[in-house]
């Protein structure tokens, strides 16, 4: 082991963070082949040589209610991780700690580590422009540098004295500009002439409990209107035992293929997607697939959130487009009937479908800027290497 190789503490809190962190680690390792990285993460990080002290599913909670139920364990893990990093011998301490999203967990940890002399980088600017402006002061206390996915974010942070860099989105580099539709359909056993709808209910157990049922019921309605439709539903690792009984209960006769993982193949293969709000909406846009964005949550979470939005859009493709490019059906509007109606509408309006694909192409080009290289350049400046 090269003692001069950088060491990184890292925390990713859910599947989307694991995906981002895995792509980031690949770029960091290209620059520093002998780096070490430890903390909380998932399989994509492990594939890049990451050492998980806790699995990321320990942090995969959904909203305020889930966080309250798990608060004692979350605080305990955060304290233990901070203790472990700060109590390492000086030569073994991290060159920097990189928090991947999960701001409610990471900001408190980052602040403690920063006060203890460890440089901190936060990857993914919280959507202060959309929901949580009060987080600005937390970011300022916690992060030496913020890596931003979207080009308008660094200037917003600069106004508050926070150092930041626009690095683009690693998914825009990883996903080809021309989606491999034929190859994906071949891999999934789908025919060229099939009309395929992808159902993506989220990656966390708690959100699936709210979102999978209306998506499945919407698919049943769509199949009643169009018996030729085929459906695919990719599932995050370990969730088949949760989702399969829901399929049996709500859509037993649906022409549905359940997939363990393989979300990118599902999006490449499909014509339209019904997708839970979050990173998956951006993935659908990068695959140039028109979508209907769905989201439901606990009533208390919704009550807390609904008065805090500063702009009319929730889904990332709409935020980037600055218009309702794709429908958003949130909370009470997220009904099977509305989801089915909007999903079928994409299949019947070819001009609208083509316009959406053209805008998705523009977004892909904007976000595709070698994120791994830009991020490693920014991190190198932070740690002085």
| Average pLDDT score over residue span 137-155 | 92
* 162, two tokens: 């926070």
Q: Contact at 8 Å (CB) between 345 and 218? A: no
* 357, two tokens: 């694909």
Contacts 24+ apart (CB under 8 A), 347-355: 347/195, 347/226, 347/271, 347/272, 352/290, 353/290
Bigger pLDDT: 23 vs 113: 113
pLDDT at 132: 56
Extents of the domains making up the chain: 7-168+369-383, 181-367
Bigger pLDDT: 90 vs 84: 84
Count of CB atoms situated within 10 Å of the CB of 312: 12
pLDDT at 126: 83
pLDDT grade, residue 13 (50/70/90)?
confident
Position 312 pLDDT exceeds 80: no
| Average pLDDT score over residue span 71-76 | 87
Bigger pLDDT: 303 vs 320: 320
pLDDT tens digit sequence for 160-195 = 899 999 999 989 999 999 999 999 999 999 999 999
- Taking the domain 181-367, which CATH number applies? 3.40.50.2000
Q: Contact at 8 Å (CB) between 369 and 167? A: yes
pLDDT at 117: 96
322: left (phi over 0), alpha (psi -120 to 50) or beta: left
Residue spans of beta strands (DSSP E) within 90-200: 96-100, 120-123, 145-148, 164-166, 195-200
Bigger pLDDT: 208 vs 38: 38
Domain 7-168+369-383 identical in fold to domain 181-367: yes
HSE toward the beta carbon, residue 8, CA cutoff 13 A = 31
pLDDT grade, residue 300 (50/70/90)?
low
Contacts 24+ apart (CB under 8 A), 340-346: 340/218, 340/219, 340/221, 340/222, 340/225, 342/292, 343/197, 343/218, 343/222, 343/272, 343/274, 343/292, 344/222, 344/225, 344/226, 346/271, 346/272, 346/290, 346/292
Tell the residue number behind the tokens 């893990």, with chain if given. 77
| Average pLDDT score over residue span 240-246 | 94
Tell the residue number behind the tokens 């806790």, with chain if given. 54
Q: What percent of the chain has pLDDT over 70?
A: 90
pLDDT at 237: 80
pLDDT at 351: 98
Position 131 pLDDT exceeds 80: no
pLDDT grade, residue 298 (50/70/90)?
low
* 141, two tokens: 């206390």
- 354-372 in b/e form (b: 16+ CB < 10 A) is eebeebbeebbeebbeebb
Q: Contact at 8 Å (CB) between 52 and 45? A: yes
- Closest to 204 in 3D by CA, of 60, 102, 68, 101: 60
Give the lowest-confidence range in 63-67, 91-95, 320-324: 63-67
| Average pLDDT score over residue span 206-216 | 91
- Closest to 42 in 3D by CA, of 27, 22, 26, 62: 22
pLDDT tens digit sequence for 371-384 = 989 999 999 999 98
| Average pLDDT score over residue span 313-335 | 92
CA atoms 77, 83, 89, 95: torsion sign: positive
CA distances from 203 to 73, 126, 224 (A): 21, 19, 27
Q: Is 12 exposed, middle or buried (0-12, 13-18, 19+ CB in 10 A)?
A: buried
> What mean pLDDT value characterizes the chain?
90
pLDDT tens digit sequence for 323-333 = 999 999 998 99
Give the lowest-confidence range in 60-74, 111-125, 282-296: 60-74
Q: Contact at 8 Å (CB) between 232 and 270? A: yes
Q: In angstroms, rounded to a whole number, what is the distance separating the alpha carbons of residues 346 and 320?
A: 20
Q: Contact at 8 Å (CB) between 281 and 316? A: yes
For residue 368, give the DSSP letter.
-
Residue ranges of alpha helices (H) inside 309-370 are 316-321, 336-348, 350-367
For residue 57, give the DSSP letter.
G
Q: Contact at 8 Å (CB) between 331 and 339? A: no
Position 303 pLDDT exceeds 70: no
Q: Contact at 8 Å (CB) between 97 and 121? A: yes
Q: In angstroms, rounded to a whole number, what is the distance separating the alpha carbons of residues 39 and 80?
A: 11
Superfamily of the domain at 7-168+369-383 = Glycogen Phosphorylase B; (3.40.50.2000)
pLDDT tens digit sequence for 34-67 = 999 999 999 999 999 999 999 887 776 544 445 5
pLDDT at 63: 44
């Amino acid at each position: 082991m090269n003692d001069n190789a950088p060491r990184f503490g890292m925390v990713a809190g859910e599947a989307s963070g694991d995906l981002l962190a895995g792509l980031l680690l690949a770029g960091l390792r290209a620059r520093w082949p002998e780096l070490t990285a430890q903390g909380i993460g998932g399989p994509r990080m492990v594939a890049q040589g990451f050492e998980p002290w806790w699995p990321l599913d320990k942090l995969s909670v959904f909203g305020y209610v889930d966080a309250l139920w798990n608060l004692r364990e979350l605080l305990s893990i955060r304290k233990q991780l901070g203790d472990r990093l700060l109590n390492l011998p000086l030569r073994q301490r991290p060159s920097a700690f990189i928090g991947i999203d999960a701001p409610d967990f990471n900001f408190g940890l980052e602040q403690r580590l920063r006060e203890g002399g460890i440089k901190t980088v936060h990857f993914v600017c919280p959507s202060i422009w959309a929901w949580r402006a009060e987080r600005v002061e937390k970011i300022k206390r916690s992060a030496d540098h913020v890596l931003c996915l979207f080009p308008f974010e660094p200037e917003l942070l600069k106004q508050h004295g926070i150092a930041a860099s626009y690095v683009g989105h690693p998914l825009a580099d990883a996903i080809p500009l021309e989606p491999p539709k034929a190859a994906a359909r071949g891999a999934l056993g789908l025919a060229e002439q099939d009309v395929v709808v992808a159902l993506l209910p989220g990656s966390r157990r708690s959100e699936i409990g709210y979102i999978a049922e209306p998506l499945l019921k919407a698919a049943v309605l769509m199949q009643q209107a169009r018996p030729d439709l085929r459906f695919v539903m990719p599932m995050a690792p370990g969730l088949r035992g949760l989702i399969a009984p829901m399929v049996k209960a709500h859509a037993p006769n649906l022409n549905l293929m359940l997939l363990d993982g393989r979300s990118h193949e599902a999006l490449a293969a499909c014509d339209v997607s019904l997708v839970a709000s979050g990173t998956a909406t951006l993935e659908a846009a990068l695959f140039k697939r028109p979508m209907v964005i769905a989201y439901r949550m606990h009533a208390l979470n919704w009550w807390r959130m609904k008065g805090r939005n500063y702009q009319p859009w929730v889904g990332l493709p709409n935020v980037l487009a600055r218009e309702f490019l794709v429908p958003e059906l949130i909370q009470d509007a997220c009904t099977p009937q509305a989801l089915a109606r909007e999903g079928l509408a994409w299949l019947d309006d070819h001009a609208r479908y083509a316009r959406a694909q053209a805008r998705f192409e523009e977004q892909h080009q904007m976000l595709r800027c070698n994120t791994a290289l830009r991020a490693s350049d920014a991190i190198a400046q932070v740690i002085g290497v």
